[in-house]
């Protein structure tokens, strides 16, 4: 029985969109669709003049994501959902921004270099250090990407109730590492 796609936390959605420099009117490609949480955030950020293309090879995830999008968003003309495996290539190009929420983003590097317009931005999101490491190494070796940066986003919630003013006792300590890079000439 397939388990549901991982949800991306708001803290990461916030940073993915701002670090990814998504703007109204942009053409954004995302893989995979997962639960559709990032898809919805991207649709909002590109607005009615933009376009979000989302690849998802798992039919169950794609169906669930469409249901979520209908429910919370009322559907969107600006969304294209495809059953495309991005490891095989990116038929939709050029794109302004690329978001990768999948296990081996480094395998997408050559396709990304072909699909991203100059100045376009790569954003990938992985849970472990070896994945972040292999992503950075592949992008650096490729030569067609600059301004590589890897970060973690953390939110510390506070309790403020009368004199009980203090950080919450527990917090989400880790979800994923976000790597961003800009497509430049070369490579």
Where along the sequence are the contacts to a second copy (CB under 8 A)? 10-11, 13-15, 17-19, 23-25, 41, 44-45, 47-49, 127-133, 136-137, 148-158, 160, 163-175, 177
- The DSSP element (H or E) to which 100 belongs, if any, is strand 95-100
Minimal distance in Å, beta carbon 55 to a second copy?
A: 24
Minimal distance in Å, beta carbon 168 to a second copy?
A: 6
Alpha helix locations (H) across 5-126? 10-19, 37-46, 59-73, 109-115
Q: CA 85 → CA 18, 100, 141, distances in Å?
A: 26, 12, 24
Q: Among residues 13 and 98, whose Cβ is nearest to a second copy?
A: 13
Q: Say if CB 97 and CB 22 are below 8 A apart.
A: yes
Q: Among residues 93 and 175, whose Cβ is nearest to a second copy?
A: 175
Minimal distance in Å, beta carbon 53 to a second copy?
A: 18
Minimal distance in Å, beta carbon 89 to a second copy?
A: 26
Close Cβ partners of 53 (under 8 Å, ≥ 6 residues apart) = 27, 28, 29, 30, 79, 80, 82, 92, 95
Minimal distance in Å, beta carbon 164 to a second copy?
A: 6
**Sheet hosting strand 79-82, strand order edge to edge:** 79-82, 51-55, 27-31, 95-100, 116-126, 177-183
Minimal distance in Å, beta carbon 96 to a second copy?
A: 14
Q: Among residues 84 and 124, whose Cβ is nearest to a second copy?
A: 124
Q: Among residues 38 and 81, whose Cβ is nearest to a second copy?
A: 38
Q: Among residues 30 and 62, whose Cβ is nearest to a second copy?
A: 30
Between CA 97 and CA 21 the distance in angstroms is 8
- The DSSP element (H or E) to which 69 belongs, if any, is helix 59-73
Q: Among residues 93 and 133, whose Cβ is nearest to a second copy?
A: 133
């Amino acid at each position: 029985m397939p388990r549901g796609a991982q949800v991306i936390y708001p803290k990461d959605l916030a940073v993915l969109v701002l670090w990814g420099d998504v703007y109204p009117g942009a053409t954004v490609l995302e893989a995979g669709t997962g639960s559709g949480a990032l898809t919805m955030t991207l649709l909002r950020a590109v607005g009615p003049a933009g376009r979000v293309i989302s690849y998802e090879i798992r039919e169950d995830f794609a169906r669930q994501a469409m249901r979520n999008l209908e429910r919370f968003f009322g559907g969107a003309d600006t969304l294209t959902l495809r059953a495309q495996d991005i490891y095989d290539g990116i038929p939709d190009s050029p794109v302004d921004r690329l978001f990768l929420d999948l296990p081996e983003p480094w395998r997408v590097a050559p396709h990304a270099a072909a699909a991203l317009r100059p100045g376009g931005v790569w954003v990938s999101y992985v849970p472990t250090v070896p994945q972040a490491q292999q992503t950075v190494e592949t992008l650096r070796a490729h030569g067609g990407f600059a301004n590589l940066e890897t970060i973690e986003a953390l939110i510390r919630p506070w309790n403020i109730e009368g004199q009980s003013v203090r950080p919450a006792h527990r917090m989400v300590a880790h979800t994923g590492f976000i790597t961003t890079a800009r497509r430049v000439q070369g490579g």
